[in-house]
Amino acid sequence: MKNRLRNFCTLLMVTFSLLAGAQNPVIQTKFTADPAPMVYKDTVYLYTTHDEDDAGPGMGKFLMKDWLLYTSTDMVNWTDRGVVASLKSFSWGRQENGAWAHQCIERNGKFYMYCTVQGSGIGVLVADSPYGPFKDPIGKKLVGGEDIWSTIDPSVFIDDDGEAYLYWGNPGLWYVKLNKDMISYSGEIVKVPEVGKVKGQATADLYHYQEGPWAYKRNGHYYMAYASTCCPEGIGYAMSNSPTGPWEYQGYIMKPDKRSSGNHPGIIDYKGKSYVFGFNFRLNFMQTAAHHERRSVCIEEFKYNPDGTIPELPWWSETGAKQVGSLNPFKLVEAETINWAEGLSTKKADLSSQMYVTNVSNGDFIKVKGVDFAKGAKKFEANVAPLAGGSIEIRIDDKAGSLLGTLQVKGTGSDKNWKILSCHIKSVKGKHDVYLVFKGGNDNLFNFDWWQFKKAVY
């Protein structure tokens, strides 16, 4: 993936002038899809599926083996937390492929992740932390009958009265009431007869529910967003006065677009703003004109209408969401906290080891948006494991912007010997985008764990 990512990212930069502020899709180091955002305390936890880089060409040729997690507190800089679950987490399911859409929710201090093991059913995992480790508490599928191909895309919702509901399905929509333990259910599985009606009439095919439900409640309204029409898929939604319907179709959140054969919504409120998540194929098509099932998560901000309906949005923009707040550079920042990156990848050896940036070569860079230096900084520190060695140029506002300083990394040939290195920088104050530009040979220069600025003394 390394060389191909470098080639398409370079083309991406030239073609779209991305350094001017593009940040959609929000993850560039891996292919991600089926966004399932969760707000917990002051952080957005973005769980995603993962399209493998070597997924074959052609429609429907998904290659998916695990589920990933990214976090953010400003909606533009996302920290890669690595794999939080995989097909191996479900011993009863198929193991070679099929880690499809999912959703995670918190209840009473525990975190429940409902996952599609495509072709085997929907399973549930439990953890004491949103970061995992997630374990299978029942050792079998939670739902899934003879028609196992329709048992996909779970969405979970807990109403104000404590009742929990699990929804899923393609091409129909099903639901069941979960018990308070969140790992079992009571009553019958119900198929929703019509997800959307238009003024009492059956919804036309143009607007029909397809898959990827996302259920939630806001200001007394129940919402069911979903991938609508096929193919390509847009994002439609319906509203109701009850979590079980009847659902009345309201319109498109985003119309289908030939640039993306599929879609999958996730909708949250965070820090007083509303966001819709989905995906496109932009990074795939920057590599090749051939369609591969290699998708990339995108985000747009929107505002609800006074009556609670959602306005129709344009197709995913290149600029994406605006930053809420800023990043504090005087606290340790994980190297895998990224607004935009070129040519790099991230690595986590296992579910409990540290995450770091790797495959660092000459010309690669990391952009971090909205870094607030306040009254000033005088020193830059980084934790690196030198390989061939090289340097990190610390620049602001552009990849070729003002050079604050250069951190020299002397090669040792080892990726085990982590070192904290530092360099002095030119005085910088206020809020800037920071570019960490890597220089050296064409081999792996070093692994990169974290960085931090030190304040100027007045």
CA distance 72 to 320: 14
DSSP 193: S
CA distance 166 to 101: 13
| Domains of the chain by start residue, with CATH | 23-302 (2.115.10.20), 333-455 (2.60.120.260)
- Tell me the DSSP string of 155-183: EEEE-TTS-EEEEE-SSSEEEEEEPTTSS
pLDDT of residue 197: 60
pLDDT, tens digit, 9 for 90 and up, residues 14-47: 333 344 466 899 999 999 999 999 999 999 999 9
pLDDT of residue 12: 39
- Tell me the DSSP string of 264-327: --EEEEETTEEEEEEEE-HHHHHH-SS-BS--EEEEEEE---TTS--PPBPSPPSS-SPP-S-B
> If phi over 0 gives left and psi between -120 and 50 gives alpha, with beta otherwise, what is residue 32?
beta
pLDDT, tens digit, 9 for 90 and up, residues 363-384: 999 999 999 999 899 999 999 9
Q: Which residues are catalytic?
A: 34, 211
pLDDT of residue 22: 67
pLDDT of residue 198: 59
- pTM for the full model? 0.93
pLDDT of residue 229: 85
Cα angle 345, 320, 400 (rounded to 5 degrees) comes to 60
How confident is residue 159, by pLDDT bands cut at 50, 70 and 90? Answer: very high
Q: CA of 5: how far to CAs of 10, 185, 279, 444, in Å?
A: 8, 44, 18, 15
Q: Which of 295, 350, 351, 281 is nearest to 101 (CA)?
A: 295
Mean pLDDT on 86-100 = 97
Of 45-49, 199-203, 355-359, the range with the lowest mean pLDDT is 199-203
Would you state the torsion angle of the CA atoms of residues 393, 397, 399, 401, taken in this order, to the nearest 10 degrees? -70
Q: Which of 345, 397, 392 is nearest to 369 (CA)?
A: 397
Mean pLDDT on 42-55 = 97
Taking residue 456's Cβ as centre, other Cβ atoms within 10 Å add up to 16
Which of helix, strand or coil describes residue 262? Answer: coil
Q: Which of 422, 403, 396, 411 is nearest to 447 (CA)?
A: 411
pLDDT, tens digit, 9 for 90 and up, residues 401-453: 999 999 999 998 888 889 999 999 999 999 999 999 999 987 799 999 999 99
Contact 103, 156 (CB under 8 A): yes
pLDDT, tens digit, 9 for 90 and up, residues 101-139: 999 999 999 999 999 999 999 999 999 999 999 999 999
Q: What is the CA radius of gyration of the chain?
A: 22
> If phi over 0 gives left and psi between -120 and 50 gives alpha, with beta otherwise, what is residue 295?
beta
CA distance 112 to 180: 12
Which residues contact residue 169 at a Cβ distance below 8 angstroms, ignoring those fewer than 6 apart? 150, 151, 152, 153, 191, 211, 213
Helices then strands, each counted (H, E), the chain: 2, 32
Q: CA of 130: how far to CAs of 93, 153, 303, in Å?
A: 23, 20, 28
Indicate the helix (H) or strand (E) that contains 12.
Answer: helix 2-16
Contact 312, 253 (CB under 8 A): yes
DSSP 11: H
Which residues contact residue 391 at a Cβ distance below 8 angstroms, ignoring those fewer than 6 apart? 406, 407, 408, 409, 438, 439, 440
Q: CA of 22: how far to CAs of 25, 105, 178, 346, 419, in Å?
A: 8, 30, 41, 21, 33
Mean pLDDT on 318-325 = 95
CA distance 266 to 248: 19
Of 2-11, 29-38, 79-88, 399-408, the range with the lowest mean pLDDT is 2-11
Tokens read off for 309: 């309906």
Phi (first) and psi of residue 157, to 5 degrees: -145, 135
Phi (first) and psi of residue 14, to 5 degrees: -70, -45
